[in-house]
Structure 1
Amino acid sequence: MTISIPKPLRVCFSYAAYAKNLIHHLHSSNVLVEAGLSESEFSAVESSFNFTFPPDLRPILQEGLPVGPGFPNWRSSSKQQLEILTNLPILGICKEVSRNGFWVESWVIGLRIMIAL
Structure 2
Amino acid sequence: MSKLKELMLIFRKQNIRIEDGLTKNEIQELENLYHVTFPKEWIDFYSQLLPIGVDFYNWRDRSVENIQFIKEVFLQPYEDVLACYEEIEWNSIWGEEPQNLQDKWVKINSLLEKAARLIPIYGHRYLPIMETTAPVLSIHDIDIICYGENLLDYFFVEFGLKKQKDIRFEQVVHVPFWMDELY
TM-score, length of structure 1 as denominator length? 0.63
Report the CA distance between 1:103 and its aligned residue.
Answer: 4.4
Give 3-state SS (helix, strand or coil) of 1:66's partner: strand
- Of the three residues 91, 100, 107, the one matched with 2:87 is 100
Q: Is residue 83 from structure 1 mapped to residue 71 from structure 2 by the alignment?
A: yes
Q: Which amino acid aligns with 2:47?
A: Q
Moved over 6 A (4+): none
Aligned pair in 2 of structure 1 residues 100, 66: CA closer, same or farther (>3 Å)?
same
- 1: CA distance, partners of 2:91 / 2:37: 24
- Aligned counterpart for 1:62 among listed residues 26, 47, 54: 47
2: distance between equivalents of 1:106 and 1:23? Answer: 41
Aligned residue among 42, 50, 55 for 2:35: 50
**1:23·1:60 contact (CA, 8 Å) conserved in 2?**
no
How many residues align? The count is 97
Structure number with the higher helix fraction is 1
**Most deviating of 20-29 and 65-74:** 20-29
- Secondary structure of the residue aligned to 1:33 is strand
Unpaired runs of 5+ residues, structure 2, are: 96-106, 115-183
11, 29, 37: which is aligned to 2:22? 37
Unaligned runs of 5+ residues in structure 1 are 1-16
- The residue type paired with residue 88 of structure 2 is G
TM-align CA RMSD: 3.0
Shift of 1:75: 0.7
CA shift, 1:30, in A, is: 2.0
TM-score by length of 2: 0.44
Distance, in Å, in 2 between the alignment partners of 1:25 and 1:80 is 30
Q: Which has the higher strand share?
A: 2
1:51–1:36 CA distance, 2 compared to 1 (3 A): same
Bigger radius of gyration: 1
Give the CA deviation at 1:74.
Answer: 0.7
Cα 1:35/1:95, change in 2 over 3 Å:
same
What are the Cα deviations for residues 16-60 of structure 1, in whole angstroms up to 9, with x where unaligned? Answer: x54444333312332112111111111011111111222222222
